[in-house]
Chain A
Amino acid sequence: MSLFAGIDAGSTYLKVALVDAGGNLCGTKTAPTGIDARETARQVLQESCREKDCAVEAVTGIFATGYSRRQIDIAHDHVTEIRAHAAGARWAAPAGVDIRTVIDVGGQDSKVIVLEEDGGIKNFVMNDKCAAGTGRFLEALARVLDLPVRDIGPMALRSRLPCQINSMCVVFAESEVISLLARRQDPVDIVAGIHVAMAKRIAVMARKAGLYGEVLLTGGGGLNPGLVAAFEDELQRDVHTAAHPQLNGAIGAALIAGDLA
C-alpha cells in the first residue's frame, strides 16, 4: 500500500499527516518545531510511520509546507501553505459542502483563499507584518484577562452584548481591554468583543479576496467556537470548520504529494 506524507513545518508546531492512495487519513502527529525543523521533521515522520508499521523509505511521496518548508530535507518537494490549505480544505469540508472560500487563522498569520469551481486557487490574501487577525491576537488578550486560550472561545458564546474593541493592533487592544476591565465590564463581553474584532479584521481581507460560496475555517482558529460564531455574524453566512483544523496544511501537502488534491 502506498502512503503519502505531508509535513507542515509551522513556526511553533510541526505537523505530519499520512494519507493512503485512497485519500484516507492514516495517521497524524504534532510536535513543537524546535530550533531544528529538519531534525524534528525526521523524528516526527519516523514516529508516525512506526505507528503504521512502515519504513520512512516506503512513503511514496513526502511534501513539506509551512514557513520552514525549504529546510525539510526529507521532503521530496515543497508547496506553499496557500496551496496546501486549498487542497486540504476540499478534503476536510463536511460531506456535501462545496467549499469556495478558505479562511485560515494560524498562530502567526492568517489568510483567505478563494477557490475556483474545480478547486484551483482563484485568489488569496494574506495578512503579514502584523499580529492583528492571527492567533497571537487572541493569545495576547487572553493573557491580559488571565484566561487559558482554550477557554475563551466557549466563553465568548455566552455573551449577550459583546464589548466594542476598536483597535486591531495587539498592543493597543491590550490597553483597550485593560481599560474595559477598569470600567468593570463583564469579562465574558470583553472576550466576545475580542472575537468580533478579530473576525471583522479578517472579514475585510475576505472581501478583498472576493469571498463567495461556502466558507471553511481552518488553522487553530477552527477549534475556537467563539471565533466561528463571530465569523458567521460578520460574514452573514454559515462557516464550516475543517475536520482537523490544525492539520489541514499537512493533510493538504500529503494529498498533493499523492496527486490526490
Chain B
Amino acid sequence: MSKRKQRFLRALGRSSEAVLRGMEAAAERPARLGYFIDLMRSVYVEDCLPQLPEEPAGRPGVVGLYCVMAPEELVYAAGALPLRLCGGSYEASCAGDELAPRDACPVVKASLGSTVLGAPSLYALCDMVVVPTTCDAKRKMAEELSRHQNVRVLEVPHVKESEGARRQWLEQLYGFKSDLERLTGNRIGRRGLAQAIALLGRARHQARRLYELRQGDLPAVRGSEAALALHAFAYDRAESWCEAMTLLNDEIAQRQADGRSAFDRRAPRIMLAGAPPVFPNWKLPLLIEEMGGMLVTDESCIGDRYLYDPVGAVENTMEDMMVALASRYLMPCTCPSFAPNEDRLFRLRQAVADFRIEGVLYHVLKGCVIYDFELLRVEALMAELGVPVLRIETDYNPEDIEQLRTRVEAFVEMIREKKRKGVGR
C-alpha cells in the first residue's frame, strides 16, 4: 500500500472515529444503533466491508452507484452487490482538489479523491461504477472517473413530466439491465427480479417505518442517528440491513411507548433541508443537536429520501417490474437537478406538516448551485408556512465549525424565543 494511501486512511479513520465515538457516547442512544455505528466504523476506520465475504467461487460482482437513480433491484437480481459511492470525507475532498475545479462541490471532489487513491478500498472493489446524469458536476465527474474505472453513465432525463423522457428512461434501464447481465454473466429473470424487489421492499418498509416513528411528539432517535442508520444501507447487504433496522425500529417504538427520548420536549423541531450531509461530514446534524435543536427529519438523498419511495410493481411480468422500477427511480425523486421541480416544494410542505417543523436549516454545499438556486422557492414556501429558514453554506472543511456553532445556536434560540412568546400569548 502506498504511503500516501496509508496516510490518507489514517486521517480518514481518525476523523470518522471521532464522529462515531461521539455518537456512541451520546445519552439515551438506542442500543440497536450499535450495528450501524460498527458498520460505518468498519468501512471508514478499519477499511473493510463486512458484507463482502470471500466466496470460494470468487467474490460477487460489486457495482458502485452514485446518486439515487440506478435501481439497486437490478444489481441484486444480477447477483451483484451495490455500494453507494458519494463521498463525504474532508480528507478525500482534499485529495480530489487537484482533479476538479475549485468551485466543484465537495461530494464530487471527495468521490474523485477516493477513487484515485483507491481508498477506502471499497472504491477499488467496484467492477462497474454507475453515474446518473444528475447535476453538471456529477456528469463531468463521470468523465474523470472513467480514466480510473469502468464507468456506466445512466442518462436521467431532467424533465420528468414528458412521456418521451420517461420512455427514454425506461430504455436506459433496459440497457443497464443488459450491461449488468454482461458484467456478471447472470441473466436477470422474472423470478430473480421479483425477489430483489421484494427484498428491497422489506428494507424500504423499515425505512418508512422509521420515518413514521420519527413523526412522534418526542422521537426516541436523534436525527443524526437515524441518518447514520439510513446511510449505512450504502455499504450493507439489504438483508442484513433490513434485519438490523427492524430491531432498531422495534427498540425505538418501545422507547417511545416508554416515553424515553434524548430530546427535550420543548426543543425546536428542525428540518435539515438542502444538500445532503454525507458521512463523515456529520457537522451540521451534530451541531443542530448540540445546540439544543430537535433534528426530526432531513430531505437528504442519503438520509430520509434515500429509501423512502417504494417500488409499486403489481405484476410478475418483466415489463411491469421494469416500468415500476423506472417510475420509482425517476418520478418521486426531488433532486434539484430536475426542472421543473415543484414536487420538492409539495414534499417539503407535507414534511413540515407531518413533523411539525419549526425551523428549516438549509444546507448549501459550496459549489452546489442547484440546491442554492431552489433556496428562494423554499424560502417563499416557508414564509407562507411561517417557518424560519437559515441558510448555511459550508463544505467538508471543519475550520468553520465555531462560526457555524454560533449561527446554529442563534437560530435555535430564535425559534425557542418565538415559541415561548407564542405560548405566553
Question: Which residues of A approach B to under 8 Å, CB–CB?
Answer: 67, 79-83, 109, 118, 120-124, 126, 128-129
Contacts and interface: CB of A to CB of B under 8 A. Distances in A.
Interface string B354-394: 00000000000000000000000000000000001000000
A121 B406 contact: no
Contacts of B181: none
Nearest to A87: B417
Given A120-B414, A124-B414, A80 B403 contact: no
A120 B403 CA distance: 22
Contacts of A67: 402, 406
Contacts of B403: 109, 126, 128-129
Interface string B400-425: 10111011011001100110010000
Contacts, number: 43
Nearest to B393: A129
The SS class assigned to the B binding surface is: helix
B299 to A, nearest CB: 21
Contact of B406 (A81, A122, A129): A81
A128 to B, nearest CB: 3
Given A118-B421, A120-B421, A126 B406 contact: yes
27 contacts: A67-B402, A79-B413, A80-B409, A80-B413, A81-B406, A82-B406, A82-B413, A83-B410, A83-B413, A83-B417, A118-B421, A120-B414, A120-B421, A121-B410, A121-B414, A121-B417, A123-B388, A126-B403, A126-B406, A126-B407, A126-B410, A128-B400, A128-B403, A128-B404, A128-B406, A128-B407, A129-B403
Given A81-B406, A120-B418, 8 more contacts: A67-B402, A67-B406, A80-B413, A82-B414, A120-B417, A120-B421, A121-B414, A126-B407
A5 B410 CA distance: 20
B422 to A, nearest CB: 10
A254 to B, nearest CB: 17
A4 to B, nearest CB: 18
B400 A81 contact: no
Contacts of B414: 82-83, 120-121, 124
A218 B403 CA distance: 20
Nearest to A126: B407
Contacts of B407: 124, 126, 128
Interface residues of B, number: 14
Contacts of B417: 83, 120-121
Most buried by A among B407, B410, B413, B418: B410
Contacts of A129: 400, 403
A158 B414 CA distance: 41
A124 B402 CA distance: 17
A187 B122 CA distance: 61
Q: Which of B402, B409, B421 has the most CB of A within 10 A?
A: B409
A83 B418 CA distance: 12
A82 B410 contact: yes
Contacts of A79: 413
Nearest to A78: B409
A80 B400 CA distance: 17
Contacts of A121: 410, 414, 417-418
A218 to B, nearest CB: 15
Contacts of A126: 403, 406-407, 410
A120 B419 CA distance: 10
Q: Which of A80, A81, A82 gathers most chain B CB within 10 Å?
A: A80
Interface string B29-63: 00000000000000000000000000000000000
B267 to A, nearest CB: 16
A82 B405 CA distance: 12
A120 B113 CA distance: 45
A72 to B, nearest CB: 15
A124 B417 CA distance: 14
B410 A80 contact: yes
B402 to A, nearest CB: 8
